[in-house]
C-alpha cells in the first residue's frame, strides 16, 4: 500500500526532523515529492535525487551513485543517517551539487526525456500558478504494484477533480474520477513491448478485477490526502479543505503522446483500441504549448482521431488514403483482395485504382461492358464524385477471379437545391447513408464467399441506386423485369444467396 506511517508524516511536517527537506521542496519547484510504501522518493528532472526511508529512531537518505559514477563533484557520502533537523539541512545544502550531478548525467544520456516530461506534467497540475485551474491533480508517478501475480506499472495516476466551483466545493456530490495516464515520449515509444496497444490491454485486464481497482483507489486517495497535508498540492489563494474520500466508478485511461512525429504512421493503431471493461480511453493534448490537463483538451478517442487526423495520417500508404477518402464520406473502405491491395495507387485526390482509369467511373456502363465483352485483368477502382453541389457518388468496381462487381451509389446532401436560392432539408439522407453502408457490408461478404468459387462460376453484379441494378450468373440471367424495382442491397443479398448455394449452403 502506498502511504506513509503516522510517525513518518510527523517527521515531515513543521517541527519534524525531515521538515527542512519538505520546506525546500515547497520552495523549489524543480523538485518533486512522491510517496512509496512508507518511503519517499524525491525527483529532479525525472531522476531520483533522494530516497528517504525509516529505520530505528533515524531516517536513511540515499542518492543514486550512478548519477555521479565518475566522481566529478564533491558530494556528501551516502547513505546518510538523519536523526535531527540539522542533518536534514545538510542534505538540503547539498541539493545544488546533487542536481548538477544529474544534469551532467542527462547531458550524455538522452533517454531521460520521458521522465523529465513526466515531472513537468506533475509540476504544472499540482503546484504551479495554474494548478488550481486545471482539472486533474497528479497523485503519483511510476506506480508499481503486484496484482494477481502480475506486476502493474502506470506512468502517472491522477484524480480528475473538475475546477468549477460546484465540483471543488462538493466532492461528495460530484465524485472525482481516477485517471490512469500513459506517457509516450517521441514516436519510437509507441511500438514494441511497451507500446500503446499492449498498455491498453494491460490496463483493461487490470481493472477487470474489482479488487485491483479498489486497492488502487485506496492508494490514490491516501497519497492525495497525505500530499495535501504536507502542502504539496496548490489550490491557489483560497486553498481548499474539502476532503476527497470517494472516487467515481468510471476510470479514464489518458494517453499522453509527447513530440509525436507526424511523418510516422504508428498512431494508426489508435483505430484498433476499443472501450471496454468500463475503461474510457482518452488522449491529452497541449493547451497552447502548456502541460496543464484541462478537460477541454483531453479528448475522447474518436474525437481525437477526427480532430487530429492530419497529424495521425500524415504519412500514409495509398490504401490508407483511400480508406480516409471513404471515411470522410461516412463509409468504411470495402474489401480489397490482398493481391490487389499492394498494387493500389492514388490517381487523383478522389480516385484510387490498380489500373489506369480510361474514363470517369461515373460512366458505369463503360466498365460493365468492358468486363463482359473483353478479357480484363483483375483490378479494383475506388472513387468519389461530386456530381453537383448537393449530389455525391461513391464507386467500388472489383474484377477479381470469377467476380465482376460494380457499385455506383449516390446520395444527396443533408440540404438539397429546390430552385433558385432555396434549399430544403433532405429527409432521406439518413436512409440513403444506411443503404450504402449495408451495400458495402454485403459486398465484403461476397468478396470473401467468392474466394472459394470455381473460375467457371462467373458472377456479374451491377448495383446503382439510380435504377438498373441486377446480378447475372452462369445459370441465372439478369432479372430484367425487376431490375428497376429493387434496391442495390437487395440485389447484393440475392447474389450472396446464390454464392452460398453454390458452396453447398442453404440460407
Domain assignment of residue 32, yes or no: yes
Whether residue 168 sits in one domain with residue 303: yes
| Residue 51 Rama label (left phi>0; alpha psi -120 to 50; beta) | beta
Whether residue 145 sits in one domain with residue 127: yes
Which pLDDT does position 507 carry in this prediction? Answer: 41
Who wins on pLDDT, 267 or 379?
379
Whether residue 266 sits in one domain with residue 182: yes
> Angle CA(270)–CA(273)–CA(275) in degrees, nearest 5?
135
- How far, in Å, CA of 51 to CA of 501, rounded? 73
For residue 149, CA distances in Å to 145, 212, 337 come to 10, 12, 44
The helix/strand/coil state of 81 is strand
Whether residue 287 sits in one domain with residue 177: yes
Work out the burial of residue 418: count CB atoms within 10 Å of its CB; fewer than 13 is exposed, 13-18 middle, 19 or more buried.
Answer: exposed
Which pLDDT does position 484 carry in this prediction? Answer: 56
**pLDDT per residue over 92-101, tens digit each?**
999 999 999 9
Q: What is the mean pLDDT of the chain?
A: 87
| Residue 441 Rama label (left phi>0; alpha psi -120 to 50; beta) | alpha
Sheet arrangement for strand 58-62: 31-35, 40-44, 47-55, 58-62, 80-82
- How far, in Å, CA of 264 to CA of 256, rounded? 16
For residue 447, CA distances in Å to 28, 51, 335, 337, 376 come to 65, 62, 7, 8, 18
Q: Choose the final residue of a domain: 82, 108, 134.
A: 108
**pLDDT per residue over 296-355, tens digit each?**
999 998 888 888 877 776 667 899 889 989 988 889 999 999 999 999 999 999 999 999
Please give the grid coordinates belonging to residue 125: 497540475
Whether residue 326 sits in one domain with residue 281: no
Q: Are 87 and 81 in contact (CB under 8 A)?
A: yes
What is the enclosing helix (H) or strand (E) of 440? helix 429-450
Give the lowest-confidence range in 225-229, 280-284, 418-422. 418-422
DSSP string, 22-48: HHHHHH-TTEEEEE-SS-EEEEETTEE
Mean pLDDT over 404-411 rounds to 94
Q: Are 253 and 94 in contact (CB under 8 A)?
A: no
Q: Choose the final residue of a domain: 255, 290, 312.
A: 312
Buried/exposed code over 203-224 (b: 16+ C-beta within 10 A; e: otherwise):
bbbbbeeeebbebbbebbbbbb
Whether residue 364 sits in one domain with residue 226: no
Which pLDDT does position 416 carry in this prediction? Answer: 45
Domain assignment of residue 1, yes or no: no
Which pLDDT does position 417 carry in this prediction? Answer: 42
- How far, in Å, CA of 339 to CA of 378, rounded? 9
* Number of separate domains in the chain: 3
Whether residue 345 sits in one domain with residue 232: no
Whether residue 255 sits in one domain with residue 235: yes
User: Which has the closest alpha carbon to 227: 490, 465, 12?
Assistant: 12
- In sequence order, what are the beta bridge partners of 76? none
**What are the DSSP E strand ranges found in 172-250?**
177-185
Q: Choose the final residue of a domain: 108, 134, 160.
A: 108
Q: What does DSSP say about strands 47-55 and 40-44: parallel, antiparallel, or unpaired? A: antiparallel
Give the lowest-confidence range in 65-69, 159-163, 440-444, 483-487. 483-487
Whether residue 490 sits in one domain with residue 357: yes
Whether residue 298 sits in one domain with residue 175: yes
Which pLDDT does position 9 carry in this prediction? Answer: 98
Which pLDDT does position 342 carry in this prediction? Answer: 93
Give the lowest-confidence range in 45-49, 226-230, 466-470. 466-470
Give the lowest-confidence range in 118-122, 145-149, 469-473. 145-149
Please give the grid coordinates belonging to residue 203: 490496463
Which pLDDT does position 421 carry in this prediction? Answer: 54
**If you ran DSSP here, which 8-state letter would residue 476 be given?**
B
**Most confident segment among 57-71, 355-369, 447-461:** 355-369
Is the predicted pLDDT of residue 194 greater than 90, yes or no?
Answer: no
**Most confident segment among 65-79, 136-150, 475-489:** 136-150
Is the predicted pLDDT of residue 468 greater than 90, yes or no?
Answer: no
Whether residue 329 sits in one domain with residue 255: no
User: Which has the closest alpha carbon to 398: 367, 421, 424?
Assistant: 367
Whether residue 356 sits in one domain with residue 471: yes
Mean pLDDT over 123-129 rounds to 93
- How far, in Å, CA of 396 to CA of 240, rounded? 61
Who wins on pLDDT, 262 or 461?
461
Q: What percent of the chain has pLDDT over 70?
A: 89
Which pLDDT does position 275 carry in this prediction? Answer: 62
Is the predicted pLDDT of residue 239 greater than 90, yes or no?
Answer: no
Question: Domain range for residue 356?
Answer: 318-502
**pLDDT per residue over 376-402, tens digit each?**
999 999 999 987 777 899 999 999 999
Amino acid at each position: 500500500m502506498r502511504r506513509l506511517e503516522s510517525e513518518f508524516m510527523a517527521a515531515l511536517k513543521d517541527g519534524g526532523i525531515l521538515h527542512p527537506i519538505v520546506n525546500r521542496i515547497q520552495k523549489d519547484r524543480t523538485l518533486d515529492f512522491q510517496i512509496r510504501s512508507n518511503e519517499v522518493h524525491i525527483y529532479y528532472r525525472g531522476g531520483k535525487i533522494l530516497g528517504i526511508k525509516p529505520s530505528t529512531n533515524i531516517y536513511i537518505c540515499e542518492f543514486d551513485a550512478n548519477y555521479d559514477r565518475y566522481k566529478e563533484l564533491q558530494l556528501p557520502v551516502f547513505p546518510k543517517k538523519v536523526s535531527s533537523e540539522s542533518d536534514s539541512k545538510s542534505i538540503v545544502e547539498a541539493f545544488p551539487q546533487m542536481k548538477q550531478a544529474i544534469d551532467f548525467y542527462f547531458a550524455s544520456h538522452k533517454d531521460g526525456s520521458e521522465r523529465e516530461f513526466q515531472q513537468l506534467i506533475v509540476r504544472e497540475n499540482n503546484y504551479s500558478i495554474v494548478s488550481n485551474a486545471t482539472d486533474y491533480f497528479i497523485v503519483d508517478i511510476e506506480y508499481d504494484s503486484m496484482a494477481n501475480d502480475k506486476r502493474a506499472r502506470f506512468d502517472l495516476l491522477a484524480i480528475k477533480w473538475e475546477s468549477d466551483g460546484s465540483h471543488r466545493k462538493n466532492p461528495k456530490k460530484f465524485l472525482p474520477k481516477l485517471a490512469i495516464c500513459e506517457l509516450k515520449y517521441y514516436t519510437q515509444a509507441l511500438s514494441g513491448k511497451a507500446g500503446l496497444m499492449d498498455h491498453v490491454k494491460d490496463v483493461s485486464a487490470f481493472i477487470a478485477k474489482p479488487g485491483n481497482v479498489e486497492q488502487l483507489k485506496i492508494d490514490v486517495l491516501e497519497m492525495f490526502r497525505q500530499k495535501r497535508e504536507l502542502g504539496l498540492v496548490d489550490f491557489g489563494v483560497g486553498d481548499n479543505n474539502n476532503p476527497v474520500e470517494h472516487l467515481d466508478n468510471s476510470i479514464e485511461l489518458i494517453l499522453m503522446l509527447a513530440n509525436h512525429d507526424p511523418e510516422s504512421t504508428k498512431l494508426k493503431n489508435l483505430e484498433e483500441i476499443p472501450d471496454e471493461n468500463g475503461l474510457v480511453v482518452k488522449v491529452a493534448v497541449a493547451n497552447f504549448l502548456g502541460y496543464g490537463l484541462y478537460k477541454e483538451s483531453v479528448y475522447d478517442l474518436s474525437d481525437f482521431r477526427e480532430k487530429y487526423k492530419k497529424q495521425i495520417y500524415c504519412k500514409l500508404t495509398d490504401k490508407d488514403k483511400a480508406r480516409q477518402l471513404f471515411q470522410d464520406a461516412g463509409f468504411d473502405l470495402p474489401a480489397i483482395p490482398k493481391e490487389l491491395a499492394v498494387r493500389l495507387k492514388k490517381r487523383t485526390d478522389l480516385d484510387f485504382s490498380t489500373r489506369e482509369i480510361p474514363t470517369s467511373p461515373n460512366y458505369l456502363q463503360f466498365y460493365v461492358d468492358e468486363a463482359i465483352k473483353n478479357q480484363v485483368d483483375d483490378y479494383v477502382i475506388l472513387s468519389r464524385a461530386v456530381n453537383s453541389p448537393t449530389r455525391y457518388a461513391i464507386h467500388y468496381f472489383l474484377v477479381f477471379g470469377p467476380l465482376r462487381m460494380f457499385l455506383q451509389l449516390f446520395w444527396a446532401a443533408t440540404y438539397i437545391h429546390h430552385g433558385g436560392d432555396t434549399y430544403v432539408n433532405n429527409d432521406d439522407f439518413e436512409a440513403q447513408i444506411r443503404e450504402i453502408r449495408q451495400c458495402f457490408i454485403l459486398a465484403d461478404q461476397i468478396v470473401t464467399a467468392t474466394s472459394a468459387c470455381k473460375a467457371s462460376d462467373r458472377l456479374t453484379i451491377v448495383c446503382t441506386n439510380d435504377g438498373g441494378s441486377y446480378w447475372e450468373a452462369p445459370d441465372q440471367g439478369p432479372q430484367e423485369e425487376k431490375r428497376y424495382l429493387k434496391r442495390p442491397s437487395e440485389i447484393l443479398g440475392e447474389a450472396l444467396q446464390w454464392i452460398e448455394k453454390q458452396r453447398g449452403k442453404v440460407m
